[in-house]
Structure 1
Amino acid sequence: MNLTPSISAISSASSASSASSISSGPSVPAGGALLVSGASGALARQAIALLQQHRPDVPLIATTRHPDRLADLAASGVSVRFADFDQPDSLASAFEGASRMLLVSTNTVDAPPRRVTQHRNAIEAARRCGVQHVVYTSFATAGAAQPGPIAADHAATEQLLREGPGGFSVLRNAFYAELLLATLPLACRSHRLPCAPGRGRMTYVARSDCAAAAAAALADGFEGRRVLSIAGEEALDAHTLAALASEVLGVRIEAVETAPDQLEAAWTGCGASAGMARVFAGIDRGMAKGEMEVRESDLRALLGALPPCEPMDMRAFLLAHRAVIVAPPSAAAVAATAS
């Protein structure tokens, strides 16, 4: 669930809460490896680490366009293979021997038709190679009648899975809490958190929780078809978030309700680049319409109800990332904001 290339690169820091354990369940089908795509990315790396820790007896395949970046995984016994979803001919050898696959959605969000084509290439190649089950990282609003620009390609990918043979687990991830690593530093420096009127709420989820959910779904042996909601357990409006952030971070932040057509200007006034301001404003407008609140989540059930598999709450997330959020902007960040 990458939002934009900028946001997906905001932070690769893992949060500590859900790097816990994968709940026990049926064993992985004998004779097949577990495959994780996009293995150079943060979510995939976290999922692989959990699988290595809690399913050490199951062979793992990690596919990536950059095998040279995964020398540590290769040294630990993971089969690291080149795969480029834009090059369908590269996928047969990459997927050979896998019985279950974690398809991490690509970050080609600037060209949605290409992203859907990438996913189609991966799904079709996986089926031809005998992959029995695909776990797909989708987005919370993919099932909506009008999923919107962020979720439209996820909705199309889900349709590809439904139309094809075999089992699948669709994980509809809420917005990453890591989005706040882009917005809250601006709010800390300007002491303002722009928001649309209406007290709309957002249900965030830590990326590490999404990684744990993906690892659990990949390893639990489920063979049918399911669609699961992966979200945190707190739905926060901007005023509640600003108050909590002020308390935890020790910086005064005020939520400022702003007319929808003035949100981009409000975010640029806080220091956001024009591109990021458009993203943040779109999210704020979606919140006002109730599109960002997830009322039911399957995360706890998927991970297991007992500690240490506890989803991260917002207070814990802010505490874990306080140093990053309140740090003075780097020269690179200032240059990027000015561009």
Structure 2
Amino acid sequence: MIVVTGASGQLGRLVIAELLKSVPAAELVAAVRNPDSVADLAAQGVEVRKADYNEPATLKAAFEGANKVLLISSSEVGQRAPQHANVIEAAKKAEVGLLVYTSILHADTTPLPLGLEHRQTEAKLAGSGLPHAILRNGWYSENYTAGVPVALQFGAVMGCAGDGRISSASRADYAAAAAAVLLAEEQAGKVYELAGDDFYTLGEFAAEIAAQSGKAISYQDLPEAEYQQALVGAGLPEPIATLLAESDTGASKGGLFDDSKQLSALIGRPTTPMVESIQLALASLG
């Protein structure tokens, strides 16, 4: 039995979809905070169990009988370390054979402030005695392509990444990697640095949007504080705006770059190029 936590989220749903290509639905568990949110998965035969990272009792029940568990990192930045610790403790008590954790690219050295809670979780895993594998995921291309409509509206991509190289891949690429590790044998102790095969700067990202849309799009590189305030002005909650601005600064220091191509090796195909992700983003606009 394989349990996927956070199964109602964008990554979790894609992991379930990948697993269903190889595993009977009856052998999969979608562990979610709100079971009603995955009624469609239940209709496909996937078992649904309530699992709240803040409620250890629900985690204990969710992991009962599990051979492997995918711990998709919490979306609640600032609360991740204790929440993940709850999951690790519950998995240990359930004698799970392998826990797979979605960390961040080069967690041990990343300049991104996001790395702190991932390092804390990795340390917790290391001291737990629980067999585990770590997926150090790079940036999702969708983190940037979500801003394509705004770029088209204002004729600019804004950021504070300078000329930092970004090796992103699609969320589906990372989901395929998670499924591959969950389905493979002898994964305990492995750490994967996962990123896209190719890289680009935000200036090149803006130029590609311009080339495909036929509209003039420039890249405006701003000071971090100014970019953060621009995001708040665009309607983003302040914590999210801060996270994105800090991450761009981290990108300027090399935090989102990796050329090891471990992701494509793991999934057995090239990663999705940014050119294709931009095509999909533009096509979705009609």
**TM-score normalized by structure 1?**
0.77
Aligned match for 1:171, one of 113, 135, 142:
135
Runs of 4+ displaced beyond 6 Å: none
* Structure 1 letter corresponding to 2:11: L
Q: Which residue of 2 aligns with 1:120?
A: 85
Counterpart contact for 2:4–2:71, Cα < 8 Å: yes
| Equivalent runs, 1:211-290 vs 2, <5 Å | 211-260=175-224, 262-264=226-228, 271=234, 273=236, 275=238, 277-290=241-254
Name the counterpart of 1:150. 114
Please name the residue that 1:10 is paired with: none
Q: CA deviation at 1:100?
A: 0.7
Q: Percent identity?
A: 35
State the one-letter code of the partner of 1:216: A
1:120-142 Cα deviation digits (max 9, x unpaired): 11111111111011111111142
Deviations 1:261-285 (CA, angstroms, capped at 9, x unpaired): 543456678x465735544432332
Alpha-carbon distance in structure 2 between the residues aligned to 1:299 and 1:222: 18
The equivalent residue for 1:302 is 266
Instruction: Please give the per-residue CA displacement for 1:45-102, whole angstroms capped at 9, x wherever unaligned.
Output: 1111111112238711111111122222223222211111211112222111111111
Offset, 1:242: 1.4
Q: Distance in 2 between matches of 1:73 and 1:223?
A: 27
Going from structure 1 to structure 2, the CA distance change for 1:301 and 1:58 (only over 3 Å counts) comes to farther
Structure 2 contact 165–254 (Cα < 8 Å) conserved: yes
1:34 paired to 2:18: no
The correspondence for 2:282, drawn from 299, 322, 326, is: 322
Q: CA deviation at 1:196?
A: 4.0
Gap regions ≥5 residues in structure 1: 1-32, 328-339
Aligned residue among 272, 278, 283 for 1:312: 272
- Checking the alignment, whether the CA contact within 8 Å between 1:194 and 1:267 is kept in structure 2 is no
1:94 correspondence with 2:59: no
SS of 1:127's partner is helix
Q: 1:85 & 1:159 partners in 2: Cα distance?
A: 18
Letter in 2 for 1:310: P
Distance 1:279 1:126, change over 3 A: closer
Alignment-derived partner of residue 107 in structure 1: 75
1:183–1:267: structure 2 CA closer, same or farther, 3 Å change rule?
Answer: same
Using the alignment, how far apart are the partners of 1:42 and 1:141 within structure 2? 23
Partner amino acid, structure 2, of 1:243: A
Q: 1:138: which partner in 2? A: 103
**TM-score for both structures, normalised by structure 2:** 0.90
SS of equivalent residue, structure 2 residue 29? strand
Q: 1:191 to 1:299 in 2, by over 3 A?
A: same
* Shift in alpha-carbon separation, 1:266–1:67, aligned structure 2, 3 A: closer
Paired with 2:86 and 2:249, the residues of 1 have a C-alpha distance of: 34
**Residues 57 and 65 of structure 1: CA distance in aligned 2, closer, same or farther (over 3 Å):** closer
C-alpha separation in 2, matches of 1:295 and 1:183:
25
Give the residue type in structure 2 aligned to 1:321.
A
Q: Which residue of 1 aligns with 2:50?
A: 82
CA distance in 1, matches of 2:232, 2:95: 50
1:149 offset after TM fit, Å?
2.4
Aligned length: 285
Distance change in 2, residues 1:267/1:122 (3 Å): closer
User: 2: CA distance between counterparts of 1:141 and 1:280?
Assistant: 18
Q: Distance in 1 between matches of 2:211 and 2:76?
A: 37
Superposed displacement of residue 148, structure 1: 3.7
Relative to 1, partners in 2 of residues 1:105 and 1:244: Cα closer, same or farther, differing over 3 Å? same
Query: Which structure 2 residue ranges, 5 or more long, are not aligned?
Result: none
d(CA) in 1 for partners of 2:216 and 2:20?
42
